Amino acid sequence: MSQVEIRHLRTLVALRESGSLVEASERMFLTQSALSHQIKELEGRLGCSLFLRKTRPVRFTSAGIRLLELADEVLPRLHTAELDLQRFAGGETGRIIMAIECHSCFEWLLPAIDAYRDEWSDVELDISSGFHFAPLPALARGDLDLVITADPVDEAGIAYFPIFSYEAQLAIAKNHCLVEKSWIDPEDLAKEVVITYPVDQNRLDLFTGFLQPAGVEPAKVRHAELTTMIVQLVASGRGVTCLPNWALHEYLQNDYVEVRSLGEEGIWPTLYAAVRKDQAEAPFMAAFIEVAKKVCFANLRGIVTAELG
């Protein structure tokens, strides 16, 4: 079946370069006898001789020349592949396919990716849209390599790294009656229309961290895709919404809406990067997490109230 092997190609190349079995064997750190046997065996399997030994330097037959040709094609490729693999092994490169749970995270993730790519140009980067429903199993499985999530679930083989914290605030119209309050109670929203991204409520801080614990349901939930749309609806009094403070910052500065904390303390989710533990230490992955933190801190300076790590 498999006749020729890498080792044979290396032997032939060494033979071409040295001109004799003895010298070739020294280059290959083998005895001359080993090469003699090796080549004899190969020639036997192939059914033709590869070179004539009675001359110095040895003279290759057509078959030998054909094999050298093959070696010249194959060995360099093998070599570069092995160099690449060394870099994979050293964690100097790899693949980061991400998923985000937090819908407005693109705002800081895309700049982070850009910054990272400058330094780690050959890491394969992608944001997956396919695993919104269950990103962590996909991460464990290897479909994903990094998940941005607000609630770390303790799972074997997954490590979490905090990126930053932000306040999830309620945005309301400037003429809304709730502007009177200095912070919002869950019950305040029982009669309100809540506008959210079109995602499951279990992935929204407002519900998981505020309304559900208090057993309150809003009068109605409306959906909009884009942050701008949501804020516009809020500004025109069609409902209220809950967004990260940094996502609202721009609209607040332009005086479109009012914002209030949820509860006296406010709700302060932390975003984590979840990665597989075996990759957590790899330089290319650690670097990504570092860059993400730095970019967040730089982009959101003065907006987010807390920086981590």
The residues that bridge with 306 in the sheet, in sequence order, are: 165
Least Cβ distance, residue 51 to a second copy (angstroms) = 9
State the amino acid at position 144 in one-letter form.
L
Which residue, among 87, 267, 124, 258, has the nearest Cα to 186 in the 3D structure?
267
Helix (H, G, I), strand (E, B) or coil at 171: strand
- Would you give the binding string for DNA spanning residues 17-56, x where CB under 7 A is met? ---xxxx-----xxxxxx-xxxxxx-----------xx-x
CB nearer DNA, residue 49 or residue 232: 49
Q: Is the dihedral of CA 33, 36, 41, 44 positive or negative?
A: negative
Per the CB < 8 A criterion, the answer to whether 296 and 161 are in contact is no
Least Cβ distance, residue 33 to a second copy (angstroms) = 20
Least Cβ distance, residue 279 to a second copy (angstroms) = 10
Residues that bind a second copy (CB under 8 A): 2-7, 10, 46-49, 52, 54-55, 59, 61-63, 66-67, 69-70, 73-74, 77-78, 81-82, 84-86, 88-90, 93-95, 124, 141-143, 278
Of these partners, DNA, a second copy, none, which one is at the site of residue 92 (CB under 5 to 8 Å by kind)? none
Q: Is the dihedral of CA 174, 177, 179, 183 positive or negative?
A: negative
Least Cβ distance, residue 287 to a second copy (angstroms) = 16
d(CA 160, CA 239) in angstroms, rounded, equals 35
d(CA 144, CA 151) in angstroms, rounded, equals 17
CB nearer DNA, residue 36 or residue 212: 36
Contacts of 33 (CB under 8 A, 6+ apart): none
- Would you give the binding string for DNA spanning residues 130-149, x where CB under 7 A is met? --------------------
Residues making contact with DNA (CB under 7 A): 5, 7, 20-23, 29-34, 36-41, 53-54, 56, 58
